[in-house]
Structure 1
Amino acid sequence: MTAPDVRVKICGLTRPADVAAAVEAGAAYIGFVFFPPSPRSLSPEHARALALEVPAGVAKVALTVDADDAALGALLDRVPVDLLQLHGRESPERVSDVRARFGLPVMKAVGLREAADLESIDAYAVVADQVLVDAKPPAGAALPGGNGLAFDWRLLAGRRWTGPWMLAGGLTPENAAEASRLTAARQLDVSSGVESAPGRKDPDRIRAFLSAAGAG
């Protein structure tokens, strides 16, 4: 069993009932996807309606992929979010620019498959407010994340960064406790692992994940 201070992000929410289930279960973050190839992608209007249902104290996260300033500006004009998640090939310089330009904290996703990839985490950890350590997608994959893939969590054993970080990639209610134990992650991000179908969250699996993670 993990410690009771693990914070959980439920990502890829598309329905009011799913938002309610995540909030009720104790999620610290609610994630909305703005990347059309994803089955979880939302229009700004749809996301705005969902975001307005999220109570104060639960962080609303906008996941974007290589979005330019115009796209980010249009999104933020319509959707009230607390955190920008950059999940594409954004450089450390781009992360810094987005933080300065839009005045919101930024979480940068970094793909990990082997030990050599750890250098990228170090580079982003000094410019992003948070780093999301995800499984690197296979070559040719349409999605940069949300593929239900895990990496060897032992790669993170003993690793520490100056700022907060979050673990993602293939997490489920069945492996959340083990993932946290092996990596010492205090934040976990789950999407497909709590779904009954792509983009449709299962409230029972959401509750099971929060319980297994030791959140609350």
Structure 2
Amino acid sequence: MIDNYGVLRANVEIDKENHYSERSHETRYNLITKLNGEEYQVNIDVQSRTTPNVRVYVDTDFDHKEYISYFKEIEKGFTDLNSGHDNFNIDLIHKPLFDINKLDADCLSADEIEEVLDSYLLGLPEVFVFGRRYRSEEYIHTPPEMLPYGLRRYKHYPGALPNRGVDMVHLNQGIPNSDHYHHYNGAYQDGAMFINRSDHYVAVFFAFQQQCLKTDLNGECLTKN
């Protein structure tokens, strides 16, 4: 399971695009969002190996009426979401917003994903980002190597980046037992990003290549993908 799951409603202030780590060979797409004077980072995993390993599905005209109504009503800022299927937690497998098999596609490179996201974030629109919230004060005693990526960046560039943000903006279940991140598996805690383009919404969903798309209610793989 992941802690502090919820949704951030904010306006994109700066599109900082891709950042590649020579140490880990991981690439993330980074945004700075702002609301009521508070800034949040948004960190999206777009490649975590030396070769492409992230699958992407984009719904260019997301029309799920319940979610669109929710987007209009939700307060700006970060909203904690209690786990369960009776609210607006996202579970792409057990409460699908689209045919999950559309995520069973070829992986895109970090540069290709950057190009896709850049095209929909033109004009710095309002976004709704589902994932894990992190804040520096919650990680005071955490070793540097165990910090969320956004907080490592915050410490590396003091004063240049917000000390809070949202990450894990991807499928958060179906991680194989052999994977280092297996302990994050859970239901009703998937990440996603929805972009308000004034007259319609664009929804972007991400999954790693190794994640299976059939899981039980604990988010554990039922079959190999």
The TM-score, its normalising length taken from structure 1, stands at 0.27
As a proportion of its length, which structure holds more strand?
A: 2
Higher relative contact order (CA 8 A, sep 6+): 2
Q: What TM-score does the superposition give when structure 2 sets the normalisation length?
A: 0.26
